[in-house]
Amino acid sequence: QVQLQESGPGLVKPSETLSLTCTVSGDSFSSYYWSWIRQPAGKGLEWVGRIYSAGNTNYNPSLKSRVTMSLDTSKNQFSLKVTSVTAADAAIYYCARGRNNGDYFDIWGQGTMVTVSS
Partner 1 sequence: QSALTQPPSASGSPGQSVTISCTGTSSDVGRYNYVSWYQQHPGKAPKLIIYDVSKRPSGVPDRFSGSKSGNTASLTVSGLQAEDEADYYCSSYGGNYNVVFGGGTKLTVL
Closest CB to partner 1 among 5 and 19?
Answer: 5
Look at residues 7, 12, 17 and name the one whose alpha carbon lies nearest to residue 75: 7
Could you tell me which residues come within 8 angstroms of residue 27 by beta carbon, excluding any fewer than 6 positions away?
A: 2
* Residue 60 in contact with partner 1, rule: CB under 8 A: yes
From CA 23, how far away is CA 87, in angstroms rounded? 26
The total of other beta-carbon atoms located within 10 Å of residue 50's CB is 25
Closest CB to partner 1 among 16 and 66?
Answer: 66
Separate counts of helices (H) and strands (E) for the chain = 0, 11
Closest CB to partner 1 among 17 and 110?
Answer: 110
From CA 10, how far away is CA 118, in angstroms rounded? 13
The interface with partner 1 within residues 34-53 (CB under 8 A) comprises 35, 37, 44-47, 50
The interface with partner 1 within residues 67-106 (CB under 8 A) comprises 94, 99-106
Closest CB to partner 1 among 15 and 27?
Answer: 27
Residues found near partner 1 in the complex (CB under 8 A): 35, 37, 44-47, 50, 58, 60-62, 94, 99-106, 108-111
